[in-house]
Amino acid sequence: QVQLVESGGGLVQAGGSLRLSCAASGLTFSTASMGWFRQAPGKEREFVSAIRWSGGSTYYADSVKGRFTISRDNAKNTVYLQMNSLKPEDTAVYYCAGHYGGSYYIRNSYRYWGQGTQVTVSA
């Protein structure tokens, strides 16, 4: 059974930083591309970032490019999202997801999902 467990969310002031972690089990992590999505209240879940299984390629939404960095540690079966220069509009529940196939940018390309971690950025 695949499990993705996010951690690292919390409350931070605008301009601050957080690092999210996603610990994976039940899948061959070293060959799994991974992604982060987020969902704000009343909005659809949206793509944030993704990283290929090798870590050699990364992808970002325009809204976070230059502020967020995705990385992975295949020895620890963990993917990270370093979030800097946070803005109030980054407030959302952040979800880790396991890529299945197709475009990294769309939700339907991901098969496995974590339970989410809340990130709240105060002005």
Q: How far apart are CA 59 and CA 65, in angstroms?
A: 9
Percent of the chain at pLDDT > 90 equals: 93
What's the rounded Cα separation, in Å, for the pair 16 and 110?
29
Q: Is the pLDDT score of 56 beyond 90?
A: no
Whether the per-residue pLDDT at 59 is higher than 90: the answer is: yes
pLDDT tens-digit profile of 65-89? Answer: 999 999 999 999 999 999 999 999 9
* Average pLDDT score over residue span 27-51: 96
Pairing of β 68-73 and β 78-83: antiparallel
Mean pLDDT of the chain: 96
Here the tokens at position 85 are 């220069």
Q: Which amino acid is at 103?
A: S
